[in-house]
Structure 1
């Protein structure tokens, strides 16, 4: 994975003005575009698309010092008009190209990323691999923004809108793993960009052959393999720490990669005020092909 990410960065530098062909780079390294984008976002702390934009505008800033017309520079970095280029430039640097050409700044530089393998992993991760038949996730769904750290107010409001009796009814409908009430995230942006929308479902897992009440939303989940990570401690901090560690520690050290599908959190135990919890994080995975 580290070599694939390094190759992506090199590819970006060599083709700053071209459309980024991540699928080809991923295939050349025996992985998928989906997994590569998710790992890049987790390790770099920004979506791949945002890194490309920052690098383009960092290099483009040096071109403004010369006498080339703005349209020539814009086209060089993949923009069809000076207006589109100027919007992207100002979003990165906080100043329009005209101000930078006149005053030489201000500029915000995005250095070229370098991925290196570091020896960590002193704390073992409690993980199991599960081959699961097709099942259904049923419950109440809402569109919410993606938030990386801390509680998500939109999710909190969605859960609070459900009457207490509904939580008990949902729990009674659970008849397969993952057990109990679930927090399901589906349709997440491949770049895992904060603020993008996803579908959040508060519900339970039900066997594919089991009936579903007509008032509930349904996510059909095909048969497949899941990596299941357990976390215990302050909620949601401990869970978010384990989630981040899957990218930094677990995936680089194991022959598995993410595949498209929902991510699922099962709350196994919780404190009365929900400040602490023991959870299982279910991530859809598939084996990396042998070289």
Structure 2
């Protein structure tokens, strides 16, 4: 049995009937699986339980509808939410903002359909086609180590090697001993070099309150306050470079697929960065977040 074709048929059905009642039993029958097997296969491939996936897709379309001028209750009822409060709670849990707040960032662009064949090219699961969380963060001060690299593909080789050196030489432990990070998380920030358009600095560092007392051999960088689209990588193991492949696949997807149809552009003067927290520890099912500075595209 071609599981990809079966799941794609189910995903297409979900897209075509988002404003109608959908059940796991109906979707399992459409895929040709028993309900139990369908639950297992769907979550394994898509990264979400099936009805959570349906809810996320409904919210993605509802987010596009926020520019329509209709009331929030009308939008909520269209996508299966019985109350304004229930819609707001689910929306905020997914996007980090209330629908009213998100309206400031909404572009009206309808989400693209999930294409499993395309996602396979990016080493990603279907769940990655969900819209990102949009949030605003204040200025961030980083202290750490910097690598100058080029945007001609060298970065895809040099940055993973830079991380390997960072880990093998236990630089993280020494970094935590020399400065006082605000939280236990590491950043990987891409900082443009105005005098070298094809080059950028990749900084591995931790967030600090200020630069007072920071040793001179450590690199200091400031990430300006910005609005970000935040993407979470699909879970992947560390073995055989799978985690690195997942990160590179997601990053390529964001810039090649998401941006052109998103209604956003890269924010001028912004800095994109990766955030590695407790989800990135260990060897199994690792994840991280990609923060991309964005602003609405103007016609």
Give the TM-score, by structure 1 length.
0.47
Structure (1/2) with the larger helix percentage: 2
Structure having the higher strand fraction is 1
Greater relative contact order (Cα < 8 A, sep 6+):
1
Rg comparison, structure with higher value: 1
